[in-house]
Chains A and B, each alone.
Chain A
């Protein structure tokens, strides 16, 4: 194939892929700014005007927040922030212990921890329901936060990073009489900021996207998180298309705001785990 033709085919594929990724989203965004009775306008027959938010209105967004979507967002932010904060502490501590100390059975325990994240949450969601109901946490926020705090992948990311820190640093600090926790806090943590960001993003996004577990663990639906709230919204207001789109846009927007500036760390964390795992 001559190089010019090859380039043309490549661009054609790129544009086609980009259209498939972007077009449904674009239609969802513009439809969220239309009145509900104008959602399907200009489609039969299809005209390019279908791709422009006209007539324009913010009614959908006003209605969503009147129906309590603000509280749902706040709930989810609370759950995700708590999980991220606790998860960073708990998993960094474990990663630190695995990286710096030797103890009998270490490689076996580390192996089990690493394998534990290969088993998706969905596989244990139903038996986990029994565990959490034995603890009496059904319909409590603890049911959403506590089971997600310890995370094998996050432990592994910290372990991997802390292992690469030269031992001289900690030995020098030991000689000056610093305790291990102090060394972790003032030597290792500042060095591991990129790892903290990728592990933190992972924990946050995991909670933001959780669906099956909150559905099972919070049956009373008093405290709704965003993915479940959206699904319930869909059942309740089946034909309020513009509001459904509005809810979807808001739900997608918040993780995007985190991911776009921090995507480098997220991609590094993920791709790194894939190459080594």
Chain B
């Protein structure tokens, strides 16, 4: 073979780079472009920032934004905290841990739609959870059809499915911490609680930051549970922006508005991720010797 490196480079790089350019980069540009057009009435017409200006005065959009922010304000800290707790348990060396480790990994093999179907029936007024709660004299509750509960039920389902996945990253981070450091602190008389706050968490910071950012990104764009369970209801209580955009584009045929919402959503996400980096990736605090 006497291929020149240039030919070889093109041959090896082109398929992946072309794929990423056409199916990743180009759609982003297209979303920006299409958000400047309107398709209502069959004809496509350029309206500049019209779709964005309409959103400013669109009560449905603001309500949906509030639901999205509230949802994320609860689910992200909850998932990261629970994933951390699970990871700390996962790395313990106790008899029987192998079994618990396997059980903790189960939800990873279960897709979100599967989790949703199972939980929908578990959460029915006549379902398993109300049966158990009835045993201690509570309920029955309408977990999915009451505006007071529906959003929190979705949070619970997504958390049940998601925490094991984030736990894996944190377990990886914990195993990267040299055990001698904790051992030295223990000999100095630090309590387990002090070791967690002063040693483990500061050293785990890069992993925690990664998990938080990745988790926020996924939850900001969460779609399947709302689509399958509530359709945004009852009374708009679960109508997150991603679902609002879907309805706009694929139910009401207003692609311009849908794209404008997606662009706002991703822009908001970038701002929040940027803030998280700024706040959390600074040098870890001084450790008291």
The chain A residues found within 8 Å of chain B, CB to CB, are 1, 6-7, 10-11, 13-14, 17-18, 20-25, 27-28, 31, 39-40, 42-46, 50, 89-91, 93-94, 96-98, 101, 103, 109, 112-113, 116, 118-120, 122-124, 126-131, 146-147, 149-150, 152, 155, 178-182, 208-209, 211-212, 215-216, 227, 230-231, 234, 241, 244-245, 247-248, 251-252, 255-256, 259-260, 263, 267, 270-272, 274-275, 277
**Residue among A116, A182, A231, A274 with the highest chain B CB neighbour number at 10 A:** A274
Min CB distance A69 to B, Å, is: 13
* B15:A150 contact, CB within 8 angstroms: yes
| Chain B contacts for A251, CB-based, 8 A | 111, 113-114
Contact yes or no, B118 A94, CB < 8 A: no
Q: What CA separation (Å) do A227 and B227 show in the bound complex?
A: 12
* Structural contact, A27 and B117, CB atoms closer than 8 A: no
Q: Which residue of the partner chain B has the closest CB to A234?
A: B117
Choose one: B25, B113, B120, B127; the contact of A40 (CB below 8 Å): B127
CB of B103 within 8 A of CB of A271, answer no
Contact A127 B30 (CB under 8 A): yes
Contacts of B8 in A (CB 8 A): 97, 101, 180-181
Question: How many A-B Cβ pairs are below 8 Å?
Answer: 252
Contact present for A256 and B109 (CB under 8 Å): yes
Whether B26 is near chain A, meaning CB under 8 Å from some CB there, is yes
Q: Considering only CB atoms, which chain A residue lies closest to B165 in the complex? A: A270
Nearest opposing residue in chain B for A95, CB measure? B16
Stretch of B54-62, B130-138, B194-202 contacting A (4+ beta carbons < 8 Å):
B130-138
Question: Nearest chain-B residue to A210 (Cβ)?
Answer: B111
Interface magnitude class on chain B: 35 or more
Whether B211 sits at the interface, judged by CB under 8 Å, is yes
Contact of A28 among B12, B104, B118, B249 (CB under 8 A): B118
Report chain B residues within 8 Å CB of A277: 210
Chain B residues contacting A25 (CB-CB under 8 Å) are 106, 110, 118
User: Quick one: given A24-B122, A25-B118, A27-B122, are A274 and B135 in contact (CB under 8 Å)?
Assistant: no
Chain A residues with CB under 8 Å of B104's CB are 17-18, 21
Of chain B, the residue at the smallest CB distance from A275 is B172
Q: Which B positions have Cβ atoms within 8 angstroms of A? A: 1, 3, 5, 8-9, 11-13, 15-20, 22-28, 30-31, 34, 85-86, 89, 92, 94, 100, 103-114, 117-122, 126-128, 130-132, 134-135, 160, 164, 168-169, 171-173, 176, 192, 206-207, 210-211, 214, 217-218, 221-224, 227-228, 242, 245-246, 249-250, 255, 258-259, 262, 265-266, 269
Question: Which of A97, A122, A179, A274 sits near B13, CB closer than 8 Å?
Answer: A97
A131 lies within 8 A of B20 (CB): no
Partner of A230, one of B113, B207, B269: B113
How many angstroms between the C-alpha atoms of A170 and B15 in the bound complex? 23
